[in-house]
Amino acid sequence: MTRLTEYLLPTEKQAPADAEAISHKLMVRAGLIRQMGTGIWTWLPAGWKVHQRVVAIVREEIDAIGGREMLMPVLQPAELWRKTGRLAIDELFKLSDRKGSELVLALTHEEAVTFHAAQTINSYRDLPLILYHFQVKERDEARPRAGVLRTREFVMKDSYSFDRDQAGLEERYALHVGAYDRIMQRTGLRFYRVESDVGVMGGLGAHEYMAPCPAGEDEVVLGEGYAANVEVARVSSDLERTAAGGYIRGGEVLTVEPAIEIGNIFKLGTRYSEPLGATYLDEQGAELPIWMGSYGIGPARMVAAAVEQFADEHGISWPKALAPFAVHLVAVGRPGTPERDAADALYETLLASRVDVLYDDREAGPGEKFADAELLGCPVRLTVGRRSLESGKIEVQRRRGREAAPGLPLGGDSAELLRALDELCQSTP
């Protein structure tokens, strides 16, 4: 049941005093998230629905390239991280149990998945392989900010590929590039795939997926056939620096744009397999290190990026693929009135037909209901009130652009109504 009188959607008129990013302001105001501490956030029901919309899209695309889903623990022995040389990372939470054993709270799972690969992959016949999971990550973030954009705890999808050699790695990497491109396209986000530095992950090469928006802490350098993050651009021999700090490539003046990093992919090579002993036997019985790739994507960052890219002065405007509900139904009229009875009947019809609908049946004024609907940002708003009874039409508004759409039939053939509503939803961005 998704009646607002029975749902947890604590909207706010004012944004948090410390909020600067649009996504931080609007996700709190719309009742999607609440803060527990510095960099520690709770996802409330409507916000978690959006988060899980992203998860579902990601899962479908990684499954489609042969990924096998599993789940690895956040709490891990520190010794694995010591062997790979990453125990000294400042952002890694470190702790000890009651017996004094050293442990870490993982900020990514290369060590864990390589540990399992070393135990389970024996022969070239076991390769290639793609494993992935959705799991909480912990990060001792020095400067948490911008709501869910930079936090100390977050969910990430990380997948890992295992191959015999570099040629195999390149094939699995290309599969992930295709999957990530499709993920971004399905979510409706504007994005760039840019060359990036391998950083603390190590390996042979990497790309980042960037969503352009003013709140982004990263910068991308863009030109005809060229896209790189600013760290790569600074050291590129193909680029010239201008006196003003810009970039020129082959005579073309490149643009620099702020963006949110929403995904990254790495060619790890044997960076983790060698120190952790992940090997296989080839056809001749020779023992060789497994070649690996690592591929991360952040659902929370994708949610925030969607808010940043499509919000207006009235609130959020979700792409339909990510919206918490496809339809927001607003009843204008007191309980017991004919218009409220008509709204109740419409809600039951939509619910029975499995339309993903949120019903505002609160005893609140029309202005408050409309403001909350625009703040939450579902793609289509339906309104039933006295005017609907007089005209025989349900009032319709598309959230994107706040434009009115032709009314839908009220009280007639439900099949006709549902067909018209489906066409409306399909044509809405």
Q: Report pLDDT digits (tens) over 414-424.
A: 999 999 999 99
The tokens for 297 are 């994507």
Average pLDDT on 96-109 reads 97
Instruction: State the DSSP code for 411.
Output: S
Helices (H) and strands (E) in the chain, counts: 12, 23
Q: What is the pLDDT of residue 315?
A: 97
For residues 392 and 200, give the distance between their C-alpha atoms in angstroms, rounded to a whole number.
63
Q: Give me the mean pLDDT over the 128-147 stretch.
A: 95
pTM of the model: 0.94
Q: Which residues pair with 288 in a beta bridge?
A: 280
Query: Chain-centre distance of CA 112, in angstroms?
Result: 23
What are the pLDDT digits (tens) for 36-53?
Answer: 999 999 999 999 999 999
The single-letter code of the amino acid at 356 is D
Q: Which amino acid is at 353?
A: S
Letter string b/e over residues 346-371, b meaning 16 or more CB atoms within 10 A of that residue's CB: bbeebbeeebebbbbbeeeeeeebbb
| Residue 54: per-residue pLDDT | 98
Residues of the chain within CATH 3.40.50.800 domain(s) are 327-426
What percent of the chain lies above the pLDDT cut of 70?
99
Confidence class for position 203, pLDDT limits 50, 70, 90 = low
Buried b (16+ CB within 10 A) or exposed e, 304-332: bbbbbbbbeeebbbbbbbbbbbbbbbbbb
Sign of CA dihedral 379, 385, 387, 391: positive
What are the beta bridge partners of residue 383?
Answer: 330, 395
**Are the C-beta atoms of 366 and 339 separated by less than 8 Å?**
no
Model confidence at 289: pLDDT above 90:
yes
Phi, psi of 62 (to 5 degrees): -75, -35
- Residue 47, token pair as written in the block: 């916000």
DSSP-H helix ranges across 377-413:
386-391
CATH homologous superfamily, domain 4-310 = Bira Bifunctional Protein; Domain 2 (3.30.930.10)
- At residue 205, the pLDDT reads 82
Lowest mean pLDDT among 54-58, 98-102, 114-118, 205-209: 205-209
Q: Where in the chain is the domain with CATH 3.30.930.10?
A: 4-310
How much is the pLDDT for 195? 84
Contact 155, 50 (CB under 8 A): no
CA atoms within 13 A on the CB side of 259: 25
Binning pLDDT at 50, 70 and 90, where does residue 196 land? confident
Mean pLDDT, rounded, for 77-86: 97
User: Can you spell out the DSSP letters for 40-105?
Assistant: EEEE-HHHHHHHHHHHHHHHHHHHHTT-EE----SEEEHHHHHHHT-TT-TTSEEEE-TT--EEEE
Q: Is the pLDDT of residue 199 over 90?
A: no
pLDDT score, position 202: 63
3-state secondary structure of 349: helix
Averaged over 183-209, what is the pLDDT? 85
End-to-end Cα spacing for the chain: 26
Give which of 420, 338, 347 is closest to 387, Cα–Cα: 338
CA 161/CA 167 separation, integer angstroms: 12
Q: Is the pLDDT of residue 386 over 70?
A: yes
Residue 411: pLDDT over 90: no
Alpha carbon distance 112, 104 (integer Å): 11
CB 318 within 8 A of CB 306: yes
How many beta carbons lie within 10 A of that of residue 70, not counting itself? Answer: 11
At residue 68, the pLDDT reads 98
- Sheet strands side by side (includes 75-77): 75-77, 102-105, 93-96
- Tell me which of 3.40.50.800, 1.10.15.40, 3.40.50.1400, 3.30.930.10 is the CATH number of domain 327-426: 3.40.50.800
Note the pLDDT of residue 33: 98
Pick the more confident residue, 123 or 244. 123
- For 222, other C-beta atoms within 10 Å of its C-beta total 20
Task: With a cut of 80, say whether residue 181 has pLDDT above it.
Answer: yes
**Is the pLDDT score of 372 beyond 80?**
yes
Residue 393 CB partners (closer than 8 Å, separation 6+): 407, 408, 409, 410
Pick from 160, 170, 169, 158: which is nearest to 120 by CA?
160
The reported pLDDT for the residue numbered 245 is 83
Residue 187 · residue 57 · CB < 8 Å: yes
Q: Which residues contact 82 (CB under 8 A, 6 or more apart)?
A: none
Per the CB < 8 A criterion, the answer to whether 154 and 298 are in contact is yes
Mean pLDDT computed over 396-413? 93
In the predicted structure, residue 180 carries a pLDDT above the cut 80: yes
In this model, does residue 201 exceed pLDDT 80?
no
Provide the H-helix boundaries in 237-311.
Answer: 273-276, 299-310
